[in-house]
Amino acid sequence: MTYYLIREMLEECTPEEIQKGTWQFAAVLKPEEYKNVRDSFNMGIDMDLNLNRITDTKAVVNYDSLTGTFNIPDHECFSEHKNKVAFALDEKGIVLIDASDYSERIVRQIQQSRRWKLPSLERFIYDFLEETIHNDLPLLESIEEELSTMEDMIMKGDINEYPMSLNDIRSDLLDMHKHYEHLIDVAREFEENENQFFHEDNLRYFRLFSERVERLQDTVTQLREYISQLRDLIAGELSIKQNKIMTLLTVITAIFMPLTLIAGWYGMNFVNMPELYWPWGYPAVIVVSILIVIVSLIWFKKKKWL
């Protein structure tokens, strides 16, 4: 467990220093650790500490505390692994409960990179939330580049089948859209400030965060629309290729139909067939067959069927 005082920068401290109440605090604890010390925070709430039950990001307003959960996707495997964090806060500070080292890494990053002129609990929460989406814009830009590359391949005719990776991207974007919706709800719950835990002037941090997430959500919406356009484009390209194949098969069938007719006639066993005993009969049939093929090809070219 680690405790921090929210001063000009995060300062690691002892539980006794937090109890003095001179500065607001942030604490990062494992579920087992929180069970042993939760009474010392005087937040009057008994949370479910089974983090495996966390399914979304939300905030719940209680009588003398504000609790909730973060369900943050892992960018390496967006739809599979989630970083699950529970939290409880009041006007004195915030407690982050995390079975992994995810929250600790973020808080350490804030400690190393942030220095505040006006330190506050609201600013710490804002920076913590910002760190959870820090890499989202580069991720969305990489997805856009991947889709753009796929579009170039489609336009060049290099796509011979529907790319299954497009479904994976679509699924990830759907998860991201839901995740951003939940983050916006949490930020607005904080901004509502029902229990008056936050200073009125600092509510702007939550508004700034929700506006940034809304822009990310708009980007996700645009990418989802882009995927829909690509799916239509791929379907059209594959349909064109299939039509070309069918046209080629039709042309081949049309060319060989008269040849098949000639072969059928001359395969009949009749004595008085024309040119049956003519010395030039066989060469004549060959010449006629070649002429039929040439005339057919010229005709199909003229009609632009080839």
Residue pLDDT, tens place only, 107-130: 999 999 999 999 999 999 999 999
Of 40-49, 66-75, 158-167, the poorest mean pLDDT is in: 40-49
Rg of the chain, C-alpha, whole Å = 35
Residue 253 in tokens: 């069938």
Of 5-9, 212-216, 269-273, the poorest mean pLDDT is in: 269-273
Q: Give the Å distances, CA to CA, from 263 to 259, 260, 266, 283.
A: 6, 5, 5, 14
Specify the CATH number for 253-302; select among 1.20.1730.10, 1.20.58.340, 2.40.30.170, 3.40.50.11540: 1.20.58.340
DSSP three-state, residue 73: strand
pTM above the 0.85 mark?
A: no
How much is the pLDDT for 263? 80
Main-chain dihedrals φ then ψ at residue 61, nearest 5 degrees: -85, 125
pLDDT at 222 over 70: yes
- Which residues of the chain form CATH 1.20.58.340? 253-302
- Which residues of the chain form CATH 3.30.460.20? 1-117
Residue pLDDT, tens place only, 148-180: 988 888 877 777 777 778 888 888 899 999 999
CB 239 within 8 A of CB 246: no
CB 302 within 8 A of CB 295: no
How much is the pLDDT for 289? 84
Domain range 1-117, CATH class: alpha beta
**Band (44; pLDDT cuts 50, 70, 90):** low
Instruction: Look up tokens 């991201």; give the residue.
Output: 176
pLDDT at 237 over 80: no
Angle at 121 between CA 119 and CA 123, to 5 degrees: 60
How much is the pLDDT for 262? 80
Q: Please list the residues that pair with 97 across neighbouring strands.
A: 29, 86
Judged by phi (left if over 0) then psi (alpha if -120 to 50, else beta), residue 205 lies in alpha
- Please report the DSSP string for 31-72 in residue order: HHHHHHHGGGGT--------GGG--S-EEEE-SS-EEEEEEE
- Which is it for strands 66-73 and 58-61: parallel, antiparallel or unpaired? antiparallel
How much is the pLDDT for 213? 96
- Please report the DSSP string for 103-172 in residue order: HHHHHHHHHHH---SS--HHHHHHHHHHHHTTTHHHHHHHHHHHHHHHHHHHHHT---S--THHHHHHHH
Q: Please list the residues that pair with 96 across neighbouring strands.
A: 28, 87
How much is the pLDDT for 46? 65
Residue pLDDT, tens place only, 83-105: 999 999 999 999 999 999 999 99
- Which is it for strands 58-61 and 25-29: parallel, antiparallel or unpaired? unpaired
The percentage of residues in the chain with a pLDDT greater than 70, rounded to a whole number, is 92
